[in-house]
Structure 1
Amino acid sequence: MIFTTTPRLHIRAFKHDDAPALLDYLASPAAPCFQDEKLRSLAEAERDVAKRAADASQFAVCLQQSDRLIGHLFAENRDEHDRNTWSVGWHFNPRYGGQGYATEAVAALFAFLFTEKAARRLYAWVEDYNVASQKLCHRLGMRQEGCFREFVSFTSADGEERYDNTLVFALLKKEWEAVA
């Protein structure tokens, strides 16, 4: 099922055939904050794809011409008191970096959330070392709202506990409409 298309991409539900491409970029996540998504085998990737396929908050980003998975998006609306606020995020295969795919896909996600899901506010968590995602947020009109010092913790490859500073970026529908 395709949720939306852009000039170069399909944004759709995950399917079984996506497992090898998902493994390609999650076998060695580019940023430490994505270590919890790390996959170790094709069988593990197949199980992960099956979970994502059943999860309405997960979106596969694929090249239109080949339908090859190059990344994924998520959009969750967890706050039971404010059903119009959505948490958004993305993870792309670094092999496809620098070509504008992330900007194209995330802009389409924002349009979908604001128009189809009646979102009022979107926000994203971005680690302070993830400069590419910070730039993406700015390109899409998001503004930084704050920084949580030592907010996220995980164990690094060498077994050391590490704490990341996490920035919060947000965009209101009226701000998006003003620049769209």
Structure 2
Amino acid sequence: MPMPWDFRPLEGARVRLDLLREDDFDALYAIQSDPDVCRYLLYEPRSRGRVQEVLERDAAATRLGEADSFVQPAIRDAAGRLIGTMYFKIASVEDKTAEIGWLLDPRFQGQGYAREAAALLLDLAFGELGLHRVYAELDPRNAASVALCLRLGMRHEAHFREHMWFKGDWADTGIYAILAHEWRG
């Protein structure tokens, strides 16, 4: 597996994955402070100060190498606007496994942007990085994310009932995954 891998922009037909920048703050704050966006996320709507901290942390995450290393690039549309972020974390170097996730501005949902951005990362994962398996861990009530997993060819591998205490109640966790040979097929 060719690691470490230093982040470089990934180009799609309509989106570009690029590092977060300081001038992304307002758009990122709008997304991460929206209660509807945060409904299925592990955090509540974020304050301006917390978004600034996250922006600085995620902009500095530029190298994949060991377990738990991650990148969280911006999803940019053709005009260069921040419309969301992706998440890609090496879960195990030995097992050639990574986790993927996404966050999209509601104004851009349902238009194929998240699918294209996720496909860019899956191409990287199963191509240049030589990974074997990529999975998404999500709240199964999030129908849009479940549908995206299925459109990407991921299979539903697990459903953990009342798996975590989440925002004042017990919540389930769904696991969706795809293997390298399935992505290439």
Q: TM class, shorter-chain normalised?
A: 0.7 to 0.9
Determine the structure 2 residue equivalent to 1:89: 101
* TM-score, normalization by structure 2: 0.85
Determine the structure 2 residue equivalent to 1:158: none
Determine the structure 1 residue equivalent to 2:184: 177
* TM-score, normalization by structure 1: 0.87
- Does the 8 Å CA contact 1:10/1:61 hold for their aligned counterparts? yes
Unaligned runs of 5+ in 2: 1-6, 63-70
Determine the structure 1 residue equivalent to 2:155: 143
CA distance in 1 between counterparts of 2:93 and 2:42 reads: 28
Determine the structure 2 residue equivalent to 1:11: 17
Deviation string 1:119-155 (CA, Å, 9 cap, x unpaired) is 1100001212101111101111000001011113222
Aligned CA distance change for structure 1 residues 31 and 38 (closer, same or farther; 3 Å): closer
Is 2:67 the partner of 1:54? no
- Does the 8 Å CA contact 1:20/1:45 hold for their aligned counterparts? no
CA distance in 2 between counterparts of 1:76 and 1:176 reads: 18
One-letter amino acid matched to 1:162: D
- Does the 8 Å CA contact 1:88/1:122 hold for their aligned counterparts? yes
RMSD: 1.6
One-letter amino acid matched to 1:148: F
Determine the structure 2 residue equivalent to 1:129: 141
One-letter amino acid matched to 1:5: E
Deviation string 1:70-104 (CA, Å, 9 cap, x unpaired) is 1111111132542x100111111111111111111
Pairs within 5 Å for 1:53-132: 53-56=59-62, 57-65=71-79, 67-79=80-92, 81-82=94-95, 84-132=96-144
One-letter amino acid matched to 2:30: D
One-letter amino acid matched to 1:8: R
**Which secondary structure state, in structure 2, belongs to the residue aligned with residue 78 of structure 1?**
strand
CA distance in 1 between counterparts of 2:28 and 2:165 reads: 24
Deviation beyond 3 Å, 4+ runs, structure 1: none
Aligned CA distance change for structure 1 residues 136 and 72 (closer, same or farther; 3 Å): same
**Structure 1 residue 167 displacement after superposition:** 0.9
CA distance in 2 between counterparts of 1:19 and 1:79 reads: 31
- Does the 8 Å CA contact 2:40/2:142 hold for their aligned counterparts? no
CA distance in 2 between counterparts of 1:37 and 1:110 reads: 28
Aligned length: 170
Unaligned runs of 5+ in 1: 156-160
